[in-house]
Structure 1
């Protein structure tokens, strides 16, 4: 029995031994096969060297591609088991680096066909290089093992090859941010990439494929992220027959021309992120938005949406991390939306951006219960009231932007408890009260502080203990139109990381040297303008490259300081500086683009070295005592766009070299002693000229007809000269005086110009210059009449032709100057009646017709009711009527005296009844003749003349009875 059992067990034993042997052999084989193959495959090494040979490599990034083992070459990754090249990671490692020139590290040249010999290549990254607009190689579609292809930022152009559709195993495709001419004419091939999970075609031109783009994308069931920003997409399909995109979580369609939200998007329950900013979306948000309960990031900013209330249903999306609705047309209050957001249990909202709308009302107290909020951006709305005290509950808040609203009241002290705060921007509101160190007590993370308020009065006061040591290290401080107090400088002494210092109109005094010396650090911007600082300005302060210095409107004195050569914008206007401009300014400050030394006590001539400032764009030396001729070397400043030489003592003629300044926008040479003819060459040489001011000089000759060629000129002031001849009829062709065009002077925020309008000298700033349209030819020796063509300038605001030798009648169609606010025709030789059409100038607020030879009755209707000052008609002996004491012929002193006035009234009354009777009969038979009126144009004209006559008779009777 036992023997039989042992015999039965023997085969089992032998089988077990065999299995152990096979297992040992297999493990040994696996171990051997797991070892790295010494050296790569020769054919693939050869292919790589041939690929390298076609490339340009200015930085030598591929210098390691030598030796036998290509698997150790930079950017080459091999399979550990087989030695096959499986990855090429050749992206530029330093694109747009701050420390290096990224262009030096860009690969370029020609991509060799030898890549096809890398038969196991799964990963190819050529991003952030420069292939100079060459096409994406068609043979990439034959690299069938590819799973990852990144050609972004590589300067490819031309048509996207359809052969990419052969890469059925591709998981990741990024060809974004290439040349603008990279385009897809046909898009059907995309549906073949059935394994694709990530697709980014940003900046590719898909306009020709947009109609069927999404139908093709719908065949990609594994797609997780779809990025199509800046692709010139227009009309996307609003719906799809079925949705296969069950894995889609990220959709980025920003910077396109989409005008409505596709409904199919709202049926994708897996959606986590939706970007539709910078489009043309219109209308209201679809109700289905509130069903996207998984949505985490929603960006609909910068569209033309809605123009109504914020949809409170968005507050029900309790998984939202980011909600951006800025720069739309939203109005109304935010209370309901914020209340709804605050009721989400464990709300995840971190970013709320509602800036640049017209939202109103107060910020609700419920804002403080969105506990995870990190960014709150509400700038440029119309919010009122104070900041809610509950703001102190937002312990995670890092960025708070409330600038440019209508908020007021005190700033809550518990803002000082928000230790995570990085940026606090409360600028351009109407804050009141006192700010103490409590407001900053625990702001240990603060880097940027902006507290400014609306003018005119200062009611926000800083009262900070000079012994207090701030817990933060600011990089940016901007405080304007507040009162800081004399001890504020001790506040700054500890801020050794500052780069921008703006303390404008904060009522500080003393020496700039004492204020900033202890900082001893290089600055990007220093603005202490509109204060009471005094003394001499030292040039020992340090500045970074391209920095700005603004010391305007103080009491600084002494010679002009020469600052660091890094300064590009220097504003020293409205101080007490004296002496000449330093002769070495062109060598010492070669980067200057803006130079303002206006309204000082400077004298002498303009130094020759100023002509070396080849980047100078803005030069204002007005309102000083400079003399001599305008130097011709200013014409070498070819970048000059704004030149202010007015209110000095320059003499001689305008140098013809200025015609080299072809980018000129404003040329102010007024209030000097210049002579000769006006520069006729401006019409052709300065095509973008907006303002030409030459008043108060001694120019002679005619007004050049070439001025009529200025397409953008909207202030032409030639007053107080010795000009002769007639007013050119072609001035009626000045386009800006005809049409509603603006030129956005607000971009040059320091512009200030003195202009004569509404009978007085007024100073206009950048924000209002856009609205001013002036033609001032007053105080010359011009003759002839007012050209009829001037009456076509419907957008003209001020027309001043006073104190000339003009004759003839005032044009009957002058009433066509619809926007006219100021009309001064005084001190000329005009004759005839005041045109009746002038009564239609409904915006006219200043009128002067004095000292002419006008006659007849002064109109009394419309705007003429408001002109009660008789001096505006003085010197016209034949004028009569209100407000003059001279009564017109036929109007008695007392209407009830029974004299000729009563007889005239009775006669007119009889005529009125006659006309009324005729009119009644006419209307009784109207339906019998209306068909004839429709057919006969001559009858229609007679009918309307008849109605006009009745109207005039009624008006005359009413005026007579009123007198």
Structure 2
């Protein structure tokens, strides 16, 4: 090999000039493109520039720029026609920048592209139909922009090789993919598909399910109005996909092939039968199963031994009844169990022993019997324990004090829980720190709790509100333990409508929200009640501003489902006739 071959300039001059022209149209905060110089020297070969990749034509030996990857580099401005000169590009990633205009018609002239990612920018205007000419395209992501206008079959009818498509989180004021299910999907073989929140109010045709690939990685059709039953396919996934069908109008039996997913969200539909769980004849990879908010009646299936990998199980807001089946004890990896708002009954079973459990929510059921004395021993890692509105009775067990990581404890509205508040309550270590970060994973952080006298959905990012003890509406007697003042991280304390007596602990006014001075039930004295009320009012005002601002704008920034709902609301306001 000649010694000067390594110094050979591979970059073609016309393509180098195209990059320099592209650079001139950009605005950037950092010197990320410092390697892009005007000098045509071997050591400044544009094939070596940041974000640029070249390859040679095997037959002719000519090098061309085939890859441009400048994602998350703080670039701003407009992208003009200079990129059209890079006709050999196969990979273009300009995602996670602040471009406000990319002339997609020009991008559509790059006929060799197989990867195009322009997501997380501020692009405006319609998606041009000319994108449909990129017949080699396999990956297209335009997520999280301000694109608008009609998206139709014409856009995608020629994209025969498309495997991944994401158009979500755009401000589609005039038209979305709906109301009919997009027919152009019939020609595609997707491994990734996200068409969430597109106002589709149609049945998914049989051909869609028949075309599902065993190599499916991600499917999200949530937040539409899709109707009908899902057929029972013999499909077996090879890749443990994430499947999100939530907030639609699917009905009937949940088909067993869906249990081959890793994450399965079927919430907010009209499914009426989960018995097909027992038809799964293999060890399911299912890690997260959410079927809350459906119309499922009757007892739980008794074959949970097929779901040994489950870490999160939500059956909330259905019509389940009867006792918890023993086969649920096989779910030894369970971290969250949500049975809220059903008709489960009976005592907590003696086999209930989930040492990894973080969240246990059985609010609004018909469970009965004494509060289990073992609850703090067998469930030592609980961060949330929610037993509200059941028929439990007996004393608060001393083992509760073993819940060192507890952040939310709600045993309210059982009405027959008696005895005293354990004096060892100060052992709730997580509540003795004001800045302790929650150990609940992001996907479990939504919480319905009593806040200022009414039931409120607290979003997971508002961690300052997820630190509460609610023992109200019971028959607790005796004094409030003085040690409760050591729980300086506690935000909400509700002891109202009990039969407590004695002195209110000194300095309890430092707790940020107090709701226990109910003269109709408690007989407390000591602290000046008016001062506490003023403190509560001031906290409510300041918290209202902070939570209101970040609860809306912070959540819109971070959470896709909230953005979709907010954009739809804005669209309705904008389009409302005067």
State whether TM-score is above 0.5. yes
Counterpart-to-counterpart distance in 1, 2:157 and 2:527: 77
Superposition map of 1:364-403 within 5 A: 372=65, 374-379=67-72, 392=84, 395=87, 397-401=89-93, 403=95
Counterpart-to-counterpart distance in 1, 2:143 and 2:383: 32
Change (3 A) 1:599 1:678: same
User: How far is 1:798 from its partner?
Assistant: 1.9
Counterpart-to-counterpart distance in 2, 1:679 and 1:775: 18
For residues 103-143 of structure 1, give each alpha carbon's deviation from its aligned partner in whole angstroms, at most 9, with x where no partner exists: xxxxxxxxxxxxxxxxxxxxxxxxxxxxxxxxxxxxxxxxx
For residues 609-644 of structure 1, give each alpha carbon's deviation from its aligned partner in whole angstroms, at most 9, with x where no partner exists: 123422222211111111111223312221212111
Is 1:475 matched up with 2:475?
no
Counterpart-to-counterpart distance in 1, 2:290 and 2:464: 21
Q: Which residue in the other structure is 1:348 paired with?
A: 46
Q: Which residue in the other structure is 1:530 paired with?
A: 223
Greater length-normalized contact order (CA 8 Å, ≥ 6 residues apart): 2
Is 1:425 matched up with 2:117?
yes
Contact 1:412 1:439 in 2 (8 A): yes
Structure 2 stretches lacking a partner, 5+ long: 1-5, 9-15, 20-26, 52-63, 171-175, 544-578
Change (3 A) 1:841 1:601: same
User: How far is 1:466 from its partner?
Assistant: 3.5
Superposition map of 1:862-881 within 5 A: none
User: How far is 1:692 from its partner?
Assistant: 1.1
Contact 2:201 2:226 in 1 (8 A): yes
- The alignment partner of 1:563 has SS state of helix
User: How far is 1:605 from its partner?
Assistant: 0.4
RMSD: 3.8
- The alignment partner of 2:351 has SS state of helix
Q: Which residue in the other structure is 2:177 paired with?
A: 484
User: How far is 1:524 from its partner?
Assistant: 3.0
Change (3 A) 1:544 1:766: farther
Change (3 A) 1:719 1:377: farther
- The alignment partner of 1:512 has SS state of coil
Contact 1:719 1:780 in 2 (8 A): yes
Superposition map of 1:3-402 within 5 A: 334-335=28-29, 337=31, 340-346=34-40, 348=46, 352=50, 372=65, 374-379=67-72, 392=84, 395=87, 397-401=89-93
Superposition map of 1:913-952 within 5 A: none
Q: Which residue in the other structure is 2:200 paired with?
A: 508
Counterpart-to-counterpart distance in 1, 2:32 and 2:430: 46
For residues 274-326 of structure 1, give each alpha carbon's deviation from its aligned partner in whole angstroms, at most 9, with x where no partner exists: xxxxxxxxxxxxxxxxxxx99xxxxxxxxxxxxxxxxxxxxxxx9xx9xxxxx
2:364 to 642, 647, 671: 671
Counterpart-to-counterpart distance in 1, 2:535 and 2:105: 54
Change (3 A) 1:564 1:624: closer
User: How far is 1:397 from its partner?
Assistant: 5.0
2:436 to 741, 746, 749: 741
Contact 1:436 1:462 in 2 (8 A): no
Q: Which residue in the other structure is 1:460 paired with?
A: 148
Is 1:450 matched up with 2:450?
no
- The alignment partner of 1:558 has SS state of strand
Counterpart-to-counterpart distance in 2, 1:762 and 1:643: 20
Q: Which residue in the other structure is 2:297 paired with?
A: 603
- The alignment partner of 1:675 has SS state of strand
Is 1:812 matched up with 2:506?
yes
Is 1:709 matched up with 2:407?
no
For residues 719-754 of structure 1, give each alpha carbon's deviation from its aligned partner in whole angstroms, at most 9, with x where no partner exists: 11122122222222211112233346455x366432
- The alignment partner of 2:450 has SS state of strand
TM-score computed with the length of structure 2 as normaliser: 0.75
TM-score computed with the length of structure 1 as normaliser: 0.47
1:688 to 381, 404, 407: 381
Change (3 A) 1:663 1:335: closer
Is 1:642 matched up with 2:336?
yes
- The alignment partner of 1:724 has SS state of strand
User: How far is 1:415 from its partner?
Assistant: 2.4
Contact 2:196 2:221 in 1 (8 A): yes
Change (3 A) 1:468 1:554: closer
Q: Which residue in the other structure is 2:456 paired with?
A: 762
- The alignment partner of 2:231 has SS state of coil
Q: Which residue in the other structure is 1:615 paired with?
A: 309
| Higher Cα radius of gyration | 1
User: How far is 1:842 from its partner?
Assistant: 9.1
Change (3 A) 1:468 1:806: closer
Change (3 A) 1:467 1:715: closer
Q: Which residue in the other structure is 1:437 paired with?
A: 129
- The alignment partner of 2:106 has SS state of helix
Change (3 A) 1:662 1:465: closer
Counterpart-to-counterpart distance in 2, 1:432 and 1:742: 38
Counterpart-to-counterpart distance in 2, 1:385 and 1:771: 40
User: How far is 1:486 from its partner?
Assistant: 4.5
Change (3 A) 1:814 1:630: same
User: How far is 1:534 from its partner?
Assistant: 0.3
Contact 2:90 2:115 in 1 (8 A): yes
Counterpart-to-counterpart distance in 1, 2:77 and 2:249: 37
Change (3 A) 1:467 1:717: closer
Q: Which residue in the other structure is 2:286 paired with?
A: 592
Contact 2:219 2:244 in 1 (8 A): yes
User: How far is 1:491 from its partner?
Assistant: 2.7
Change (3 A) 1:463 1:569: closer
- The alignment partner of 2:508 has SS state of helix
Contact 1:565 1:588 in 2 (8 A): no
User: How far is 1:407 from its partner?
Assistant: 5.9
User: How far is 1:664 from its partner?
Assistant: 0.9
Q: Which residue in the other structure is 2:270 paired with?
A: 576
User: How far is 1:374 from its partner?
Assistant: 2.5
- The alignment partner of 1:657 has SS state of coil
Contact 1:351 1:375 in 2 (8 A): no
Q: Which residue in the other structure is 1:845 paired with?
A: 539
User: How far is 1:586 from its partner?
Assistant: 4.9
Change (3 A) 1:415 1:741: farther
User: How far is 1:502 from its partner?
Assistant: 2.1
Change (3 A) 1:439 1:583: closer
Change (3 A) 1:793 1:468: closer
Equivalences, count: 496
Contact 2:142 2:167 in 1 (8 A): yes
Is 1:519 matched up with 2:211?
yes
User: How far is 1:516 from its partner?
Assistant: 1.3
Counterpart-to-counterpart distance in 1, 2:303 and 2:323: 16
Q: Which residue in the other structure is 2:514 paired with?
A: 823
User: How far is 1:793 from its partner?
Assistant: 1.8
- The alignment partner of 1:477 has SS state of strand
For residues 328-351 of structure 1, give each alpha carbon's deviation from its aligned partner in whole angstroms, at most 9, with x where no partner exists: xxxxx8346256444433552567
Contact 1:814 1:837 in 2 (8 A): no
Counterpart-to-counterpart distance in 2, 1:432 and 1:541: 43
Change (3 A) 1:520 1:465: closer
Contact 1:530 1:552 in 2 (8 A): yes
Counterpart-to-counterpart distance in 2, 1:423 and 1:606: 45
User: How far is 1:653 from its partner?
Assistant: 0.8
Counterpart-to-counterpart distance in 2, 1:826 and 1:611: 48
Contact 1:573 1:596 in 2 (8 A): yes
Q: Which residue in the other structure is 1:554 paired with?
A: 248
Which stretch of the first structure deviates more once superposed, 633-642 or 760-769? Answer: 760-769
